[in-house]
A and B are shown apart, each in its own frame.
Chain A
Amino acid sequence: MSPTRIIIDCDPGVDDAAAILMALGSPELDVLGVTTVAGNVTLSATLTNACRIVGLARRPDVPVMAGARAPLLRDQIFGKYAEIGAFPAHLVGMGRVEPAAENAVRFIARMAWAAARTQSPLTICAIGPLTNIALALRLHPEVARGIRRIVCMGGTFQAPGHASRWAEFNMLADPHAAAIVFDSGVPLVLFPLDVTTKALFTERHVAAFRASGSEGGRALANLLTEYDRSDPARYGRLGGPLHDAMTVAWLLRPGLFTGRPARVEVQLTGPANGQTFADFAAPSPRVAVMTGVDEPGYIALVSERIAAAGRAGHRGPGAGTQKGKAE
């Protein structure tokens, strides 16, 4: 079977880093490009971080591009770990690939349009605010036809929000972009906080990343140790989620997850801005809202693929040898 062609649209971010490393360590996936958007941190930091992660995975053949610097309409917000900015070199090393010149939105639109023409639609793994994807969809109606599905981390239904009382960060950071994507007619697989917080990585798992022998695994372990995501008061037990990695895990082993079809919309204004709401009785649901996960199976898959990133499946000559740019 030929590998699934994907674009990873992201705002790294620690759990974005895990998702990118997993994808680059998976021969079932052909990563056409990594596109970055302002979100967890500023655009220049998400770009630098993506370049470092792709460098760690020794995949200079994968283009990394910068997209939207700000949300469509609302004032910009950043994530809880905004002060991280670009990942410090003592955690992830200095190696990096150079960013490609093409604008990320134009790249997404160009690839999707070409995919529409050849009737070989591609998959987008959307793990940041949806600004880039919304802009690409608005450029040409053909873009939607070139996207087979968008596998998206975002939203929350029963679980409380983390960016506001009611909203998940990717939705709150650009609700108008989310509305455009939800309304686009492209099938969506959505991983809200309800499911992403059901699988928690503990110190034991982080130690296994470190011991895996891959540069990517070591870097991810460093990041997870430095920015501890454990929150027993919130999750009821030890360990922290890797939200974004679920999207890549679903592409590899959808059987690990359960979900329900729904129509999903997002609140655009007011105190519940960014809140997602689902109609599970809608006549033509376009969104598979993920609700359940096989936690041990998921953690094992993430661990296996993180260990493979930078060791197997790389097609080009080793990256990570170029000196990082001055920050």
Chain B
Amino acid sequence: MTASLPVIFDCDPGIDDSIALLGAFVAPELDIRAILTVCGNQPLERTLRNALQICELAGRDGIPVHPGAPRPLCREPIHGLFHGETGLGAARLPEPQKRPEPTGAVEALIDHLGRAVREGGPRITLCCLGPLTNLALALRIAPDIAGGIERVVMMGGAFHAPGNRSLTSEFNMLADPHAAAVVFAAGLPMTVLGLDATHQVILRPEHVARFVGASGRISAAMAGLMASWDRNDPKRYGTRGGPLHDPLVTAFLLRPDLFETRPARIFVETESPLCLGQTVADWYGQSGAPANADIVLKVDAEGVIDLYLGLLTQYEMRGAA
């Protein structure tokens, strides 16, 4: 099967970013043009290093990895709480040999999308797993690149669900609410996987064991990544385990039939100290503004888990690189 879907990942690995990438790396449908990194779950130097290590782990050294924004647009940086000291949980990966590209992520985004616009396609699907700083900067510097974007598929926001990093706000939105505001206002085709969706896919400890068992030659790394997966917060998640946030982006690209969406206009709060980063969906056109996103409201959790188990099995079959 030929890779038919050109994609760029913009991420802040991050444990769940890493799993999203490891899934995408073995999906023959995806033509991964570049990986961009951003300050988010970890500071930029860590997310960059982690992206390089994950590429090498999977034997995908050929994908260019670009360093992106080292800080959010306006607010001071915040980082994730559940990713361990390095950002990769307990995984201990070798010092990366692969070098980052000299071109920054924002410039790379402008160049890739600008080329798609000039050459008349194919347009690129952006898979945004972290704060939206890189995309916001690119859109403000070169707004015409919007024409080179097929769709933005992003993890972020919380609509009916409460926030995770604050009472109202999901981490990626809270980490750079101003960037999110720029992206939501840009009029791009978007699919948004917020906490309403990701909290439907809880990997329980037995799922984690199956993920590790399926992962063949990367199973030790997978065990390290997922060592602290269990949030042990059944009151919040309804069971032991933890939510599969970023990997849902990869899953949506491969199996959109596992997801139900509903169009709405998304706004994000950029000023209130209490509600900074809160995403607000206008489901009924009350704002008078047109819908700017398809928000995922329902996920076939078992389908997603089976999809990932199938993807991870590829690492078994390929054997050592």
Contact = CB atoms under 8 A, between A and B. Distances in A.
Interface of A: 67-70, 72-73, 103, 105-106, 131, 135, 138-141, 176, 179-180, 268-269
Q: Could you tell me the dominant secondary structure of chain B's interface residues? A: helix
A52 B106 CA distance: 31
Contacts of A106: 107, 110, 141
B178 A72 contact: yes
A72 B185 CA distance: 11
Contacts of A131: 140
B175 interface: no
Interface of B: 69-71, 73-74, 104, 106-107, 110, 133, 137, 140-143, 178, 181-182, 270-271
Given A73-B178, A73-B270, A138-B137, A103 B142 contact: yes
A70 B73 contact: no
Nearest to B271: A269
B307 to A, nearest CB: 37
B143 A135 contact: no
Contacts of A70: 140, 143
Q: Which of B133, B142, B181 has the most CB of A within 10 A?
A: B142
Contacts of B106: 139
B137 A68 contact: no
Given A70-B143, A140-B104, A176 B74 contact: yes
Which interface residue of A70, A103, A139 has the most chain B CB atoms within 10 A?
Answer: A139
B74 A141 contact: no
6 nearest CB pairs, A to B: A105-B141, A141-B70, A135-B141, A269-B271, A69-B143, A176-B74
Contacts of B107: 106, 139
Given A73-B74, A73-B182, 5 more contacts: A69-B143, A135-B140, A138-B69, A139-B69, A176-B73
A203 B132 CA distance: 52
A175 to B, nearest CB: 10
B141 A73 contact: no
B137 A135 contact: yes
Contacts of B70: 140-141
Contacts of B178: 72-73, 176
Nearest to B141: A105
Contact of B74 (A103, A105, A135, A180): A180
B27 to A, nearest CB: 31
A106 B71 CA distance: 18
A268 B75 CA distance: 12
A106 B133 CA distance: 16
A105 to B, nearest CB: 5
A176 B270 CA distance: 12
Contacts of B133: 138
B137 A73 contact: no
B39 to A, nearest CB: 11
B182 A68 contact: no
B77 to A, nearest CB: 12
A103 B271 contact: no
Nearest to A71: B140
Contacts of A269: 271
A163 B73 CA distance: 25
A70 B181 CA distance: 14
23 contacts: A67-B141, A68-B141, A69-B143, A70-B140, A70-B143, A72-B73, A72-B140, A72-B178, A73-B74, A103-B110, A103-B141, A105-B141, A106-B110, A131-B140, A138-B133, A139-B69, A139-B106, A140-B104, A141-B70, A176-B73, A180-B73, A268-B271, A269-B271
A131 B73 CA distance: 12
Contacts of B71: 138
Nearest to A134: B73
A20 to B, nearest CB: 23
Contacts of A176: 73-74, 178
A73 B133 CA distance: 13
Contacts of A135: 137, 140-141
Contacts of A72: 73, 140, 178, 182
A106 to B, nearest CB: 7
B308 to A, nearest CB: 35
Q: Which of B137, B141, B178, B271 has the most chain A CB within a 10 Å cutoff?
A: B141
A226 B70 CA distance: 47
Given A73-B270, A106-B107, A269-B271, A179 B141 contact: no
Contacts of B73: 72, 138, 176, 180
B295 to A, nearest CB: 23
Nearest to A43: B143
A269 B182 CA distance: 17
A89 to B, nearest CB: 28
B218 to A, nearest CB: 33
Contacts of B181: 73
A10 to B, nearest CB: 17
Nearest to A110: B107
A146 B207 CA distance: 51
Nearest to B106: A139
Nearest to B70: A141
A138 B72 CA distance: 8
A141 B142 CA distance: 20
Contacts of B182: 72-73
Nearest to B142: A103
A160 B46 CA distance: 47
The winner among B73, B181, B271 for most chain A CB atoms within 10 A is: B73
